[in-house]
C-alpha cells in the first residue's frame, strides 16, 4: 500500500501507462462495446456496421411509416421481425470448441485487454468475435427478442406525426430528437448481439446478463412514451420529459447515472418502503419485499374495514417492532424481547380508544382538543428535555468544536440513562400518538392513498420517534402557511424534508473535509490543484445542488479519485453492496479474535444505544479495542431493536493501516483523557474529521502483551532449568494421560512379529475405572513398526491383590505394582519366556532395560542373563553401534533422587518408574547426551515442534501420541523455567505442582500457528502463551490475557463512507487494468480511507471478519443477546 506517484504534486493525475487503456475503455462505454484493440480495420468496420444496423433500419422504418398510412405497430412490427430472425439464426449456429462464450467475457477481471488478431476476415473466428453467443440457450433466444421489442417500440414512439405534435410542429427539434434517440438505441442494443460494453455503473461484478442493463431503460422509456401517446396525449409535459431522457440516454450510460438492472428493483422497492411506508431499510431483497407486502396488507385491512385509526395504529405498532426481524430465534432465547411489542400495542389501543371516545359526534366531546396547544407544548418540552440530556453526555458540543465541560459521574449516568429510555420509548411515542390521533380523527371515508399515509404516520412514531417529532413540529409550523390542504400529504412532505436535511448536512460536512484536505495536504494535490479549487468556488451553487439532489433521491456522491471533483453516481440500496455471502470470507487465524469479542461487543452496543438514543439506519460505528478495529453498520432498526453487521479489519501493521490507526488512537485518547496518555484542551482539533468520538466502554477480550526474552531465555541458568523441568513435566503429562484415560498408546490389538511370536507390552487404554484401577499391558507393534529390529519384548506382568494403592494427581485411588514385586515377576517371567528384551513398551512408548556387553543380544542369549546384572549394564539402540545411548539404572536412580529428593525410588509404583524411564529417554533424544550444551535457538525449535534432526528422532516421530505429550511437556517446561527466572524458583515440590496445575488448567501454551490457538481463543481460555524468534535474532514471547479492555466508540460520517466506497468501485471496476493499485492515495488521515476501503464487501474490500446479521434488543437494558 504505497502512495502513488500520479497523485503527488507536480505530477499528472493519470500516468502514461493508463492513458491508452482508459481511451479504449471510454470508447467501449460510449459506443456500446466496440473494441478498438483490433489490428485489422475490417474487424473495426464490421463492428461499426453492427452498431449502425438498428439506426439505419429505424430510419427506413420511419420513412415507410410516414409515406404508408397503416394502423399502429404494423410496419414497426414487420421491421422488428428482421433483427429477431437474423440474430436468432446467428446465435443458434454451432460454435467451435475454441469459442469463448459471452459468459466468460463478462467475468470480472482486472487484466488489460490484449490486442485481438483475426487472421482472416469473414471467417468463423471473425464471426465468433463479432457475435459472441451465451452458453445459456435461454439467453440466446431472449437477446434477439429483446432487441426486436426495443426496435418496435422505438419505431412507434418516434413516428413523425407523434413527435411533431408533441414538439409543437418543430421539424428541426424532431430531427435532433430522432437522431439522438436512435443513437441511444444503437448504444444500448449493440451489447445484446455483440460484445458487452464496460459499464461505469456496476452493482454485481459477476452479474450474468449485464447486456440487459441498457436495453431495459430503452424498452422502459419507449413503452412509457408509446402508452402516453395512445392513452393520455394531453400529458405533453411528461411526454417531453420522456423524450428528453430517451434522446440523452447515451450520455447517461457514459456517466453511469442509471442504476444497473440488478440494482434498480432493490432501490425502487426500498425507496417506496422508506418514504411511503416509513419502514426501515432492509439487509436483503427478500426482507424489502416482505416489508412492502406487510405494509400493503395493513392498508388493505384499514381501507375495507373503515376502522382507520385503530387498524393503522395497531398495524404501525406491529410493523415497527422486532416481530419482523429476520432473527426470530431471539424470542425463543429471550421472551422479554416481546415487552416492547406488548407495550406499543397496549398504548396504541388505549390512546386510540380514548381519542375515539372523546371525538364521538354524539354526545358532545367532554374534552376540547380543538387546537391541542397544551398537548403540543408538553410534547415539545419532553423532546427538548431528551435533547438536553443527550447533549450533556456528548464529548464535543456546538458542532463538535468545543469539549463538553460537564463530567457525568457513574451514578448520575445511570439515572440519565433510565430517564432517556423512559422518554424515548414511552413518553414521546405516547404523546405523539395522542396528538396525531386527535389531529387526524375523522368520520369520513379515506382513500387507499390516505390509508397508506396514515399507516406511515403511526408506524414512524414507533419506528423513528425522533424524526417523527421533528416532522410533526415542521408540520405544525407549515400548516396554514402554505397552499396544501391535505394534512396527511403535508406531513408526508415534512418527513421527506427532515430526512433529506439530515443527509444533506452529512454531505456538506464530507465536502468540507475533502476540500480542506485538498488545500492543506500536499500529497492530495494534483498539478492543476489551483484550477480545481477555483472551479469549486465558482461552482459552489451547482455543487450544493448536487448534494441536495443526491440527498433527496438516494443517488450517491462520486468524488473522483477522492478529490473535490463531485459527480452523481447511480442510486443504491441503503446496504450499498449486494447481500454478502459469508462463505466467500475465509477464516484466518486472526478471525478468532473477532469471533471471541462479537457477543461481548453486541452487549456493549445495546448499552450504548440505551444511553445515547436509537441509531439511524445506515449509520456506521467505529470501535477500537487494543489492536482490534471493528466497523459496525446498522442495517435495520425499529422500536426497541436494531440489526447490524460487524466487520473486523486486518491486524497486520502495514504502513497505511498503521498511520490511520494511530490517528484513531490519538483521537480517542484526546477525547477521553482519563483512558489515554494525551492531554486535551477545550477545543476539538479534529472537528473536520469524519470520526466523531462518542463514549468508551469495557468488553471482555484479550489483552496482548509482547515481551523480549533476550537475556532470559539464553541464560545458562534458564537453559538448565528447562532441561530439569522437562523431565518433571514429562512425568506429569504421562501420569495425566494414564489417569485421564488418554490413549497414549495405539489400539490394543495383538499383532504377530516377523518371527512368528506374539509380543506383549503396555496398553493403558485398557484401564478400567472402578474402586481399583488395573493396568493390562499389550504390545501392538510388529518388527516393521519399530526400529529395534533384533529386539523381542518382555512381559511386565499384571496386577495382583498385593498391588500398592495410592492417590494419583486427580485424587482417585489407583492400584499399581510395587517396584520390588515387579522385579521379582520379571525374573520369573524371564525364565519362563526366552524372549526377553532390552526395550519394553507398547504402541508408542519405549521403556529401557539394559543388556550387557554394550550390544543387543539375541533372544537365546538373553534368556540366560540375570535380570539384576542386566540392569547394571549399558545398552545400545541398534546392532551397528551408531545410535549408542548408554543408560544405567543406577544413573536413573541418581537422577530421579536429584529431581524428587523427598521420594525414594524403590518405594514408587512401577508405572511411575517406567514413566521416568520414558521421560529421560525423550530428554536424551531432544537434548542429546547429558554433557551436550543446550542452545536457546534449539529451545525455540523444540518449542515449535521443529526438532533438530538426529538418528534417534525418527523413533519419537513414529509415535504420534508420545510425540504430542513430549511437545506439550516441553512447552510447559519452557514456560515454567521463564517464570522461575522472572519470579523465582519454587520453594518446594507442592508449590511446583501448583504452578504446573495452574498452567495446565488455565493456560494454553503453544504457538500462534496452531489450530488450537484459535480454538482456545474462541473458547475464552484465560491465558495464552507463545514463544518466537524474531528475524533480528531476539527472543520474544506473547501473552494473551482475558480481561476487561476499554473499547472506544465513535460515529463515522455515513455519506463519507458511501462516497469512498463509490470511488473505490469506480476505480477498480472501471478504471483499473492489470495494475490493481487505486488512483487515490491510500492513507488519508482525515477520511480514514484505508480503513473504510478495507470494510467494503468482497471483491473490492478485504475485511478480515464478517459477522452474520446480529439482532439486539435495546429496551430498558434487557439481558444481552448472543
**Amino acid 103: pLDDT:** 54
Alpha helices (H) in 672-747, listed in sequence order: 716-739
Report the distance separating Cα 939 and Cα 837, nearest Å.
Answer: 33
Q: 1052 forms bridges with which residues in the sheet? A: 620, 691
Phi, psi of 32, rounded to the nearest 5 degrees: 85, 0
Separation of alpha carbons 51 and 57, rounded Å = 11
Alpha-carbon torsion 448, 225, 258, 1074, what sign? Answer: positive
CA 1105 – CA 594 distance, rounded (Å): 7
d(C-alpha 1074, C-alpha 18), whole Å: 10
pLDDT at 752: 33
Q: Which grid cell is 795?
A: 512381559
pLDDT at 754: 33
Coil, helix or strand at residue 751: coil
For the ranges 220-234, 246-260, 894-908, which has the lowest average pLDDT? 894-908
Long-range CB pairs of 307-310 (<8 Å, 24+ gap) are 308/442, 308/446, 308/451, 308/454, 309/352, 309/355, 309/356, 309/437, 309/440, 309/441, 309/454, 310/349, 310/352, 310/353, 310/356
Q: Which residues pair with 876 in a beta bridge?
A: 884
* Exposure letters 665-674 (e unless 16+ CB within 10 A, then b): bbbbbbbbee
DSSP letters along 419-443, please?
A: HHHHIIIIIHHHHHHHHHHHHS--S
Beta strands in 550-669 (DSSP E): 556-559, 566-569, 620-625, 628-638, 641-648
- Tell me if 476 sits within 8 A of 383, measured CB to CB: no
What b/e readout covers 947-985, taking b as 16+ CB neighbours within 10 angstroms?
beeeebeebbeebebbbbbbbbbbbbbbbbbbbbbeeee
Query: What does the chain come to in residues?
Result: 1122
Ramachandran quadrant class, 234 (left: phi over 0; alpha: psi -120 to 50; beta: rest)? alpha
Strands 804-807 and 402-403: unpaired
Of 925, 905, 916, 987, give the one whose Cα is nearest residue 733. 916
For 296, the grid coordinates are 400493503
258 within 8 A of 200, measured Cβ to Cβ: no
Q: Integer distance in angstroms from the first to the last C-alpha of the chain?
A: 36
Residue range 596-605, pLDDT digits in tens:
999 999 989 9
The answer, yes or no, to whether residue 1 has pLDDT greater than 60, is: no
What count of other Cβ atoms lies within 10 Å of the Cβ of residue 997?
12
Q: Would you state the cell numbers that stand for residue 1081, as one nine-digit string?
A: 492515495
The rounded mean pLDDT for the chain is 76
> 1021 and 700 in contact (C-beta within 8 Å)?
no
- Rounded to whole angstroms, the Cα distance separating 235 from 991 reads 94
Q: Which carries the bigger pLDDT value, residue 119 or residue 55?
A: 55
pTM above 0.85, yes or no: no
For the stretch 889-942, pLDDT in tens is: 334 344 444 444 334 334 445 566 677 777 888 888 887 665 667 888 889 988
- pLDDT interval class at 740 (50, 70, 90): very low
Identify the three-state secondary structure at position 339. helix
Please state at what angle helix 591-612 crosses helix 410-422, rounded to 10 degrees: 70
Q: What is the C-alpha to C-alpha distance for residues 1002 and 582, in angstroms, rounded to an integer?
A: 33
DSSP 3-state assignment of 553?
helix
Looking at the chain, the whole-number percentage of residues with pLDDT higher than 90 is: 30
| Residue-wise pLDDT tens digits, 1064-1103 | 888 888 887 545 555 666 778 889 988 999 899 887 888 9
Contact between residue 56 and residue 179 where contact means Cβ atoms under 8 Å apart: no
C-alpha cell at 980: 522461575
Q: How far apart are CA 410 and CA 393, in angstroms?
A: 12
Q: Transcribe 252-272 into DSSP letters.
A: HHHHT-SPPHHHHHHHHHHHH
| % residues pLDDT > 70 (the chain) | 74
Which grid coordinates are listed for 480? Answer: 396554514
**What are 929's three cell numbers?**
547426551
Q: At 538, is the secondary structure helix, strand, or coil?
A: helix
Over residues 528-536, the mean pLDDT reads: 86
| Strand pairing report for 1003-1005 and 1023-1029 | parallel
Instruction: Give which of 433, 397, 226, 216 is closest to 316, Cα–Cα.
Output: 433
Residue 944, CA distances (Å) to 379, 588, 1010 in order: 68, 20, 10
Residue 107 has which C-alpha cell? 467475468
26: CB partners within 8 A, 6+ apart:
254
CB 680 within 8 A of CB 670: yes
Compute the distance between CA of residue 689 and CA of residue 75 in angstroms, rounded to an integer: 62
pLDDT in tens, 633-689: 999 888 888 889 999 998 876 777 788 888 999 899 888 886 544 455 788 888 889
- Judged against a pLDDT cut of 50, whether residue 1039 lies above it is answered with yes
Q: Is the pLDDT of residue 619 over 90?
A: yes
Which of 752, 822, 824 is closest to 793 using CA atoms?
752
Beta bridge partners of 827: none
With a cut of 80, say whether residue 1045 has pLDDT above it.
yes
The packing angle between helices 373-392 and 465-478, to 10°, is 130
Summarize the confidence of residues 877-891 as an average pLDDT: 31
Cα radius of gyration (the chain): 40
Q: Name the pLDDT band for 333 (thresholds 50, 70, 90).
A: low
The answer to whether residue 792 scores a pLDDT higher than 50 is: no
**Poorest-pLDDT segment among 65-69, 273-277, 295-299:** 65-69
Looking at residue 1022, what is its pLDDT? Answer: 94
- Whether the CA torsion 380, 386, 389, 393 is positive or negative: it is negative
Residue 259, pLDDT score: 92
983 Cβ contact list (under 8 Å, min separation 6): none
Tell me phi and psi for residue 1110, to 5 degrees: -105, 125
Q: Which residue has the higher pLDDT, 932 or 58?
A: 58
Cα separation of 630 and 1051, whole Å?
Answer: 12
3-state helix, strand, coil in the chain (%, to 5): 55, 10, 35
Mean per-residue pLDDT, 11-39: 76
What is the band of 301 on the pLDDT scale with cuts at 50, 70, 90?
very high
* Residue 611, C-alpha cell as written in the block: 444511553
Query: pLDDT per residue over 175-214, tens digit each?
Result: 899 999 999 999 999 999 988 888 898 888 777 788 899 9
Amino acid at each position: 500500500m504505497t502512495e502513488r506517484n500520479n497523485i503527488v504534486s507536480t505530477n499528472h493525475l493519470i500516468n502514461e501507462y493508463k492513458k491508452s487503456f482508459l481511451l479504449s475503455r471510454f470508447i467501449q462505454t460510449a459506443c456500446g462495446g466496440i473494441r478498438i484493440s483490433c489490428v485489422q480495420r475490417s474487424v473495426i468496420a464490421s463492428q461499426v456496421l453492427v452498431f449502425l444496423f438498428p439506426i439505419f433500419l429505424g430510419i427506413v422504418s420511419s420513412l415507410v411509416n410516414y409515406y404508408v398510412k397503416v394502423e399502429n405497430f404494423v410496419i414497426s412490427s414487420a421491421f422488428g421481425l428482421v433483427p429477431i430472425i437474423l440474430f436468432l439464426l446467428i446465435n443458434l449456429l454451432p460454435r467451435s470448441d475454441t469459442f469463448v462464450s459471452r459468459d466468460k467475457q463478462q467475468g470480472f477481471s482486472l487484466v488489460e485487454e490484449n490486442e485481438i488478431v483475426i487472421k482472416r476476415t469473414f471467417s468463423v473466428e471473425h464471426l465468433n468475435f463479432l457475435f459472441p453467443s451465451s452458453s445459456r440457450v435461454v439467453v440466446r433466444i431472449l437477446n434477439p427478442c429483446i432487441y426486436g421489442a426495443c426496435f418496435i417500440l422505438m419505431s412507434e414512439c418516434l413516428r413523425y406525426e407523434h413527435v411533431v405534435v408533441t414538439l409543437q410542429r418543430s421539424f428541426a427539434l424532431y430531427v435532433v430528437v430522432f437522431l439522438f434517440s436512435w443513437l441511444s438505441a444503437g448504444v444500448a442494443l449493440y451489447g445484446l448481439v455483440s460484445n458487452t460494453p464496460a459499464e461505469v455503473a456496476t452493482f454485481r461484478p459477476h452479474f450474468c446478463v449485464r447486456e440487459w442493463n441498457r436495453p431495459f431503460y430503452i424498452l422502459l422509456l419507449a413503452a412509457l412514451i408509446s402508452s402516453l401517446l395512445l392513452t393520455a396525449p394531453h400529458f405533453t409535459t411528461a411526454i417531453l420529459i420522456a423524450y428528453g431522457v430517451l434522446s440523452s440516454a447515451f450520455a447517461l450510460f457514459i456517466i453511469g447515472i442509471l442504476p444497473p438492472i440488478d440494482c434498480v428493483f432493490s432501490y425502487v422497492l426500498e425507496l417506496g418502503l422508506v418514504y411511503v411506508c416509513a419502514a426501515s431499510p432492509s439487509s436483503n431483497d427478500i426482507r424489502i419485499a416482505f416489508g412492502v407486502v406487510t405494509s400493503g396488507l395493513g392498508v388493505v385491512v384499514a381501507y375495507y374495514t373503515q376502522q382507520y385509526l385503530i387498524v393503522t395504529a395497531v398495524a404501525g405498532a406491529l410493523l415497527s417492532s422486532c416481530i419482523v426481524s429476520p432473527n426470530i430465534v431471539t424470542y425463543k432465547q429471550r421472551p422479554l424481547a416481546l415487552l416492547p411489542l406488548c407495550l406499543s400495542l397496549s398504548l396504541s389501543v388505549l390512546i386510540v380508544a380514548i381519542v375515539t371516545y372523546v371525538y364521538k359526534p354524539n354526545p358532545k366531546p367532554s374534552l376540547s382538543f380543538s387546537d391541542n396547544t397544551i398537548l403540543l407544548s408538553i410534547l415539545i418540552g419532553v423532546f427538548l428535555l431528551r435533547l438536553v440530556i443527550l447533549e450533556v453526555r456528548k464529548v464535543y458540543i456546538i458542532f463538535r468544536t468545543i469539549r463538553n465541560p460537564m463530567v457525568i459521574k457513574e451514578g448520575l449516568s445511570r439515572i440519565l440513562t433510565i430517564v432517556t429510555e423512559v422518554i424515548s420509548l414511552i413518553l414521546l411515542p405516547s404523546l405523539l400518538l395522542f396528538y396525531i390521533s386527535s389531529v387526524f380523527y375523522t368520520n369520513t371515508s379515506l382513500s387507499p392513498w390516505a390509508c397508506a399515509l396514515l399507516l406511515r404516520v403511526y408506524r414512524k412514531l414507533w419506528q423513528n420517534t425522533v424524526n417523527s417529532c421533528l416532522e410533526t413540529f415542521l408540520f405544525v409550523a407549515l400548516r396554514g402557511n402554505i397552499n396544501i390542504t391535505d394534512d396527511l400529504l403535508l406531513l408526508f412532505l415534512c418527513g421527506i424534508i427532515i430526512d433529506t436535511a439530515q443527509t444533506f448536512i452529512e454531505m456538506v460536512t464530507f465536502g468540507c473535509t475533502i476540500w480542506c484536505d485538498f488545500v492543506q495536504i500536499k500529497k492530495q494535490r494534483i498539478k492543476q490543484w489551483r484550477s480545481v479549487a477555483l472551479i469549486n468556488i465558482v461552482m459552489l451553487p451547482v455543487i450544493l445542488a448536487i448534494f441536495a439532489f443526491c440527498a433527496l433521491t438516494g443517488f450517491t456522491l462520486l468524488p473522483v479519485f477522492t478529490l473535490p471533483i463531485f459527480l452523481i453516481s447511480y442510486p443504491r440500496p441503503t446496504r450499498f453492496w449486494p447481500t454478502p455471502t459469508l462463505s466467500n470470507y475465509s477464516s484466518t487465524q486472526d478471525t478468532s479474535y473477532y469471533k471471541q469479542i462479537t457477543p461481548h461487543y453486541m452487549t456493549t452496543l445495546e448499552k450504548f444505544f440505551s444511553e445515547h438514543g436509537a441509531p439511524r439506519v445506515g449509520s456506521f460505528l467505529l470501535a477500537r479495542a487494543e489492536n482490534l478495529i471493528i466497523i459496525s453498520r446498522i442495517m435495520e432498526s425499529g422500536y426497541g431493536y436494531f440489526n447490524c453487521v460487524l466487520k473486523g479489519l486486518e491486524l497486520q501493521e502495514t504502513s497505511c493501516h498503521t498511520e490511520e490507526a494511530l490517528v484513531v488512537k490519538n483521537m480517542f485518547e484526546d477525547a477521553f483523557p482519563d483512558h489515554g496518555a494525551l492531554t486535551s484542551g477545550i477545543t476539538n482539533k479534529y472537528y473536520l474529521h469524519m470520526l466523531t468520538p462518542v463514549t468508551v466502554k469495557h468488553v471482555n477480550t484479550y489483552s496482548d502483551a509482547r515481551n523480549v526474552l533476550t537475556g532470559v531465555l539464553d541464560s545458562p541458568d534458564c537453559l538448565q532449568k528447562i532441561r530439569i523441568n522437562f523431565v518433571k513435566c514429562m512425568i506429569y503429562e504421562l501420569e495425566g494421560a494414564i489417569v485421564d484415560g488418554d490413549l497414549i498408546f495405539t489400539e490394543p490389538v495383538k499383532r504377530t512379529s516377523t518371527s512368528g511370536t506374539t509380543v506383549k507390552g503396555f496398553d493403558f487404554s485398557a484401564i478400567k475405572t472402578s474402586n481399583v484401577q488395573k493396568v493390562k499391558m499389550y504390545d501392538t507393534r510388529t518388527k516393521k513398526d519399530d526400529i529395534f529390529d533384533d529386539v523381542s519384548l518382555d512381559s511386565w506382568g499384571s496386577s495382583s491383590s498385593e498391588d500398592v494403592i495410592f492417590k494419583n494427581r486427580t485424587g482417585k485411588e489407583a492400584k499399581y505394582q510395587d517396584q520390588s514385586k515387579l522385579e521379582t515377576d520379571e525374573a520369573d517371567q524371564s525364565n519362563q519366556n526366552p524372549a526377553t528384551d532390552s526395550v519394553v513398551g507398547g504402541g508408542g512408548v519405549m521403556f529401557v532395560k539394559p543388556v550387557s556387553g554394550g550390544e543387543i543380544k539375541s533372544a537365546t542369549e538373553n534368556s540366560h542373563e540375570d535380570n539384576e546384572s542386566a540392569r547394571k549394564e549399558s545398552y545400545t539402540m541398534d546392532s551397528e553401534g551408531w545410535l549408542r545411548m548408554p543408560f544405567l539404572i543406577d544413573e536413573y536412580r541418581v537422577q530421579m533422587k536429584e529431581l524428587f529428593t523427598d521420594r525414594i525410588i524403590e518405594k514408587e509404583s512401577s508405572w511411575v518408574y517406567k514413566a521416568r524411564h520414558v521421560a529421560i529417554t525423550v530428554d536424551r533424544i531432544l537434548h542429546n547426551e547429558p554433557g551436550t550444551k543446550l542452545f536457546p535457538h534449539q529451545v525455540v525449535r523444540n518449542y515449535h515442534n521443529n526438532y533438530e534432526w538426529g538418528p534417534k528422532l525418527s523413533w519419537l516421530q513414529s509415535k504420534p501420541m508420545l510425540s504430542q505429550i513430549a511437545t506439550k511437556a516441553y512447552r510447559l517446561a519452557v514456560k515454567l523455567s521463564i517464570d522461575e527466572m522472572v519470579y523465582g524458583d519454587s520453594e518446594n515440590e507442592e508449590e511446583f505442582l501448583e504452578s504446573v496445575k495452574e498452567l495446565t488448567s488455565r493456560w494454553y501454551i503453544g504457538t500462534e500457528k496452531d489450530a488450537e490457538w484459535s480454538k482456545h481463543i474462541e473458547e475464552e481460555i484465560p491465558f495464552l502463551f507463545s514463544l518466537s524468534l524474531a528475524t533480528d535474532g531476539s527472543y520474544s514471547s506473547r501473552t494473551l490475557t482475558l480481561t476487561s479492555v476499554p473499547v472506544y466508540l465513535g460515529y463515522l460520517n455515513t455519506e463519507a463512507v458511501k462516497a469512498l466506497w463509490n470511488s473505490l468501485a469506480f476505480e477498480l471496476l472501471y478504471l483499473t487494468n492489470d495494475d490493481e493499485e487505486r488512483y487515490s492515495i491510500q492513507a488519508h488521515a482525515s477520511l480514514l480511507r484505508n480503513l473504510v476501503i478495507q470494510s467494503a464487501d468482497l471483491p473490492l474490500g478485504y475485511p478480515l471478519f464478517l459477522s452474520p446479521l446480529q439482532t439486539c434488543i435495546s429496551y430498558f437494558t434487557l439481558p444481552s443477546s448472543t
